[in-house]
Amino acid sequence: MHTRRKFIREMSLSALGLYTVNNWPATASPFSVVNNEGPVLKVALMGLGGYATRVAEAMQQCKRAKITGLVSGTPEKLKSWGEKYAVPEKNRYNYENADAIKNNPDIDAVYVITPNALHHDLVIRMAGAGKHVICEKPMGLNAREGKEMVAACKKAGKKLLVGYRMHFEPATLEVIRMRNAGEFGTLRFFQGLCGFRIGDPTQWRLNKALAGGGALMDIGIYALNGARYMVGEEPVWVTAQETKTDPVKFKEGVDETITFQLGFPGGIMASCLSTYNMNNLDRFFLDGDNGFAELQPAAGYGPVKGRTHKGPLQVQATLPQQTIQMDAMAAILLDGTDPVVPVDGEEAVRDLVIIDAIYQAAKTGEKIKLG
């Protein structure tokens, strides 16, 4: 029996090379592949944890995406999820035989929703199995991993998307539209605050080997990515400071609180906070000569709310963010559409390059140049 917990504990990524393969004829898929909105993206969820539960529930409202496969190291989950979402046994896999997805016409893409340290190898494996890949963020543990993932997907001729759900969020996109229309005038400043008090000290998010860090990798990436899409430029330098009040809970290499500053070529400054030790932090603020925009909450599961110098934002999502995300990703993969804000692997690599620089700046106290 191969449980997901055992798989994670053993960290046997380097050993994931040869697997038993279940073969069956590559016949036409029995799943519905078209509806009134267009072709349907057939998705296998890999890693059936808490966030995958949220994604699966949201996908029940999708018009362009359907759960047709499952991958888990826990047989009980494969059974219960398979029954709940009508996924037949032949479309259920564990981490040892997941490469058999290659022969399955019922699956177009695999959504990797595992602890961060597993993303790199699993994305490369699934692309090698001939499937498009959607990966949760952060895409990898560092920029080197991210670049390898992008290169592997390109070599396989498969697309790599990343779960940047906020890139499709209506209120966020309205602020970006206003910025592009010049309604804020010359931009001067951005502030991004993201944090919460984390609970269970034994969870994988507080294990450097699995998470790759601490709050910055989990919640701070929203402030970082938000600074980029709200400002609309790529930063050219970064400074950072780390504070740790509980070295027992937040062990070496697991950041509790990091403040970081970004400088943009247009002269805009961004000041951001990432923490696992403070609640009530979910706010973006963009300031310009002629106006401002504030989103609060800005990166939570919703609903995102906001206001500008013109008053409250009237745009608000009527569907879960993950529903909107998966339908939009189906359009990207099946129709070749371009999102307003990119969600591809290259976009994720840009975040990882900056995350590497933030950790370096926090450690050295130096101002790190980017690009």
* CA distance between the termini of the chain: 47
Active-site residue 251, yes or no? no
Q: What angle do CA 360, 361, 363 make, to 5 degrees?
A: 65
Answer yes or no: 19 catalytic.
Answer: no
The Cα 353–Cα 17 span in angstroms is: 28
Alpha helices in the chain (DSSP H): 4-10, 50-59, 75-84, 116-128, 143-156, 170-180, 208-211, 215, 221-231, 321-335, 345-364
366's enclosing H/E stretch is: none
Contact 232, 254 (CB under 8 A): no
Cβ contacts of 37 within 8 Å, gap of 6 or more: 63, 64, 327
Distance, C-alpha 327 to centroid of its chain = 16
Residues 6+ apart with CB under 8 A from 355: 138, 142, 143, 213, 216, 217, 221, 224
Task: Count the residues in the chain.
Answer: 371
Please identify which of the residues 77, 131, 137, 159 carries the catalytic annotation.
Answer: 137
For the sheet with 132-135, list strands across it.
92-93, 65-71, 41-46, 109-112, 132-135, 160-162
Q: Of residues 164, 222, 276, 359, which has the active-site annotation?
A: 222
The residues assigned a catalytic role are 137, 222
